[in-house]
Amino acid sequence: MPKTPEQVNTGRLIRLGNDALQRGDSASAVEAFRAVIETAPESAAVYHSLGVAHYKEGDFDKAKAALHRAAELNPGGSGPPFVLGLIARDERDYAAAHTAFSETIERAHGDWRAYANRGIVHFYLDEHESAIGDLRRSKPELVLENALLRKQLSILGRQVRRPRIQGRDRLVILTLARLLPNWRDALLIVKPATVLGWHRRLFKIYWRRKSRPRPPRLTSAPVGPLGVVSVGPSSGRGA
């Protein structure tokens, strides 16, 4: 179905707003996103972009108003609380910033930016151990944790009363857990003791196969000049 002229114009304005944000032209971005809202007043994404533009512009009050409206239109979105956390941090309201970044992490578990910013806030709150814990959550580690969570969710999604964890599932979970330092925190459907039990059983199987005696290698016997296999040295006695 072809787009209406209004839809084409809306798309053009959104692109103009995004391009302006990338150039650092916050005023032009605000103008473009406000024009979009006149024709699409229920778009959470546009209100979020408008909030970001106001934040870049330094108008925190208008930014918060736009971001709260985006959150009303899309209650589960992770974008608005993240930017609200940045605003609270810049306003030195570290308790509010911590709440906002924690909310972002709950909604988008793999958002390493939220962990990094919450870690900085922990330092401002003199919570040094928590700060180090958040700042250690590097991007590769969060990607692995996401993969481990997704694997378990895929098992839960199988249409059975009690999902059965198959051998292949165990191998995937074991591999990801081995690579992930905080693997215990990422478990949903199994207990850490269960994963450790899988590891012990796999280790036993590995060493059982490793230590299994191998059959002796067959070496070819020497062959005489007439093609007769020579069994051993001649005893010197006649037949």
The more confident residue out of 54 and 189 is: 54
DSSP string, 49-91: HHHHHHHHHT-HHHHHHHHHHHHHH-TT-SHHHHHHHHHHHHT
Cβ proximity of 105 and 89 under 8 Å: no
Residue 12: other Cβ atoms inside 10 A: 13
In a domain, 174, yes or no: yes
Greatest mean pLDDT among 37-41, 138-142, 202-206 lies in: 37-41
DSSP annotation of 231 reads -
In a domain, 130, yes or no: no
Measure the CA–CA gap between 183 and 177, rounded to whole angstroms: 5
Q: Could you tell me which of 134, 93, 130 has the C-alpha nearest to residue 112?
A: 134
Residue 215: other Cβ atoms inside 10 A: 5
Q: Could you tell me which of 204, 152, 168, 154 has the C-alpha nearest to residue 196?
A: 204
In the chain, the number of structural domains is 1
pLDDT for 9 equals 74
pTM for this predicted structure: 0.58
**Confidence category of residue 162, pLDDT binned at 50, 70, 90:** low
pLDDT in tens, 42-84: 899 999 999 999 999 999 999 999 999 999 999 989 999 999 9
Enumerate residues 6+ apart whose C-beta is below 8 A from 32: 13, 14, 16, 17, 20
Cβ proximity of 29 and 20 under 8 Å: yes
| 66 phi-psi bin (left φ>0, alpha ψ -120 to 50, beta other) | alpha
DSSP annotation of 223 reads B
pLDDT for 53 equals 94
What is the percentage of the chain residues whose pLDDT exceeds 70? 77
In single-letter form, the type of residue at position 197 comes to: G
pLDDT in tens, 47-57: 999 999 999 99
DSSP annotation of 125 reads T
Q: Could you tell me which of 194, 104, 190 has the C-alpha nearest to residue 148?
A: 190
**Confidence category of residue 218, pLDDT binned at 50, 70, 90:** low
In a domain, 229, yes or no: no
In a domain, 41, yes or no: no
pLDDT in tens, 93-138: 999 999 999 999 998 877 888 888 888 888 888 888 888 788 777 6
In a domain, 204, yes or no: yes
Q: Is 96 exposed, middle or buried (0-12, 13-18, 19+ CB in 10 A)?
A: middle
When pLDDT is averaged across residues 169-188 and rounded to a whole number, the result is: 77
The more confident residue out of 233 and 9 is: 9
In a domain, 123, yes or no: no
In a domain, 159, yes or no: yes
In a domain, 120, yes or no: no
Mean pLDDT (the chain) is: 79
pLDDT for 158 equals 64
Domain that holds residue 171: 138-211
